[in-house]
Amino acid sequence: MTSSYRINYQLRAHKRDPLIEFIKGLLLTPFVLHAKPRKPVLNAPATPAGGHLPGTTSGLVGPIQGDDDKNDYQEEEKPMVDANLQRYLEIMKSVEGMIEEHRRKALKGVPEHSRLHRIVPSVASFFTPLPLEAAFLVANAKHSIAARRFVPPSFNDIRRILNTAQVMAIAPTLNLITFDGDMTLYDDGTSFTKSSPLIPLLITLMRAGLHVAIVTAAGYPGDAGKYEERLSGLLQCFNEQKLSEKLLEHFYVLGGECNYLFRCGWKKAETTGESVVGLTYIHPEEYQPNDMLDWKNEEIQELLDVAEENLRRSVSAMNLKATVLRKMRAVGIVPTDGVKIAREQLDECVLSTQQRLLEYQQFSGPSKVAIPFCVFNGGNDVFVDIGNKLIGVQVLQKYLGAAPDATVHVGDQFLSTGNDFATRSSCCTLWIISPEETEGVLNELTPLLTFPADSE
């Protein structure tokens, strides 16, 4: 049974998405008012000879069922479902209109004047319209939302509806699609295997002329081999299918949130000298903007020192079985001996470290550059990275010539303690929770793409 503590914990702001909660609240009204659970049809007891039930007096026996109950029993199933679907669609159409009004206000530079912003002040940017009404019909066909009498539209229902609407909207203009790694393309802590059903879908995206990039927190400074190991199954498939150099140049890996960029292509294997598909490091001067290049290493290390101090304090205070891992542009805690750290403890580390670093930057004085950072809960670890995925996506957009309304990021960490959250400010997003869901959204996307005449 779910404990009240867990319920209360899930209600905390850092575990909720305000827009999804708003839509869920709207859909709850028709569910409560109209989607009534059906009662079983009761057969009236047989009336014995004489027209009276045993133990009753003639003329005093009322209807076995009340008028309200009778109406429930005689209710037709299909009309109720159709009427309830219509109510849900009306709500989704209204939200669709609110989003479009918010976009118009944003174009005029006053997004705070929109009705949606007044209701959901933390609402993010929308770079495309969202056809929520059409997306709801797709979701209803899969999950029978309108026919449900006991389970109202859920957080996951709405999350998937938003994904479908975004896929529908962005498919005609899509130029760049970026992916998180763990729990998006492969299970947490594992590698890309040759058997993954995502591989042919990624190749299809590349053949449609899209730039495909993995934007991951994993940071191996300039070390292509480490990333090739994590993506070994994918690169082997590229190799076996003899993809052309032109096609492979559509695939990139950006590690350490935004710090280490690699391009895919054919190269000589170090051991055998034969041509294989691999990754080539791109030097920062070729793609990083000047403000990133101006980050001073001593100031980076000083920021990481503050983060490390707070993480060590958290480990000690909560008696965590974890070790602190320091890298060139990151520091984090990882569990020891296969221990599973509780989600609440991980979030405590994240939120306390965020607060400590913000205080440090606030009181550091104007002479220092406020270096961007990201603190996130990785599922069973916590890391502080220099930079973030917002900068990573923006770097790729500039380097590859992709506009925000032609870019979509796919990830699983869109709560405020996740490192995909920041990308909402620079591109469209798809919020998934597993590689299986990534497969689902790509299966929705690929039929909507237009393939160039010279595609392989």
Of 354, 356, 346, 357, nearest to 315 by C-alpha is: 346
Q: Which pLDDT does position 419 carry in this prediction?
A: 81
Per-residue pLDDT of the chain (456 residues; tens, 9 = 90+): 344 444 444 445 556 789 999 999 999 988 888 766 665 555 555 555 555 555 554 444 444 445 555 454 445 566 666 888 999 999 999 999 999 999 999 999 999 999 999 999 999 899 999 999 999 999 999 999 998 989 999 999 999 999 999 999 999 999 999 999 888 999 887 889 999 999 999 999 999 999 999 999 888 888 899 999 999 999 999 999 999 999 999 999 999 999 999 999 998 877 777 889 999 999 999 999 999 999 999 999 999 999 999 999 999 999 999 999 999 999 999 999 889 999 999 999 999 999 999 999 988 766 667 899 999 998 889 999 999 999 999 999 999 999 999 999 999 988 877 788 889 999 999 999 999 999 999 999 999 999 887 766
Say which of 180, 347, 381, 385 is annotated catalytic: 180
180 labelled catalytic: yes
Residue 200: CB atoms within 10 A of its CB come to 13
In order of their start, the domains of the chain are: 13-38+67-170 (no CATH), 176-288+390-448 (3.40.50.1000), 293-386 (3.30.70)
What is the C-alpha to C-alpha distance for residues 132 and 19, in angstroms, rounded to an integer? 13
* Residues 6 or more apart whose Cβ sits within 8 Å of residue 67: none
What is the C-alpha to C-alpha distance for residues 28 and 26, in angstroms, rounded to an integer? 5
CA angle (408 as vertex; 286, 426 as ends), nearest 5: 65
Say if CB 9 and CB 344 are below 8 A apart.
yes
412 labelled catalytic: no
Q: Which pLDDT does position 10 carry in this prediction?
A: 45
Which amino acid is residue 387, in one-letter code?
Answer: G
Tokens 């109406």 -> residue: 71
What 223-228 contacts at long range (C-beta under 8 Å, 24+ apart), as own/partner pairs, is 224/262, 224/278, 224/279, 224/280, 224/281, 227/253, 227/255, 227/262, 227/279, 228/278, 228/279
- Two structure tokens written together for 263: 């391009």
Q: Which pLDDT does position 14 carry in this prediction?
A: 55
Of 317, 312, 348, nearest to 331 by C-alpha is: 312
- Two structure tokens written together for 54: 């045993």
Q: Which pLDDT does position 304 carry in this prediction?
A: 96
Q: Which pLDDT does position 3 carry in this prediction?
A: 43
Of 162, 255, 263, nearest to 211 by C-alpha is: 263
| Buried-exposed string 76-107: b where 16+ CB fall within 10 A, e elsewhere | eeeebbeebbebbbebbeebbebbeebbebbe
- Two structure tokens written together for 325: 């891992």
Q: Which pLDDT does position 182 carry in this prediction?
A: 86
3-state secondary structure 401-415: CCCHHHEEEEECCCC
Say which of 17, 157, 182, 385 is annotated catalytic: 182
| Cα dist from 346 to 28, 45, 421, whole Å | 32, 61, 17
Q: Give burial (CB, 10 Å; 0-12/13-18/19+) of 299.
A: middle
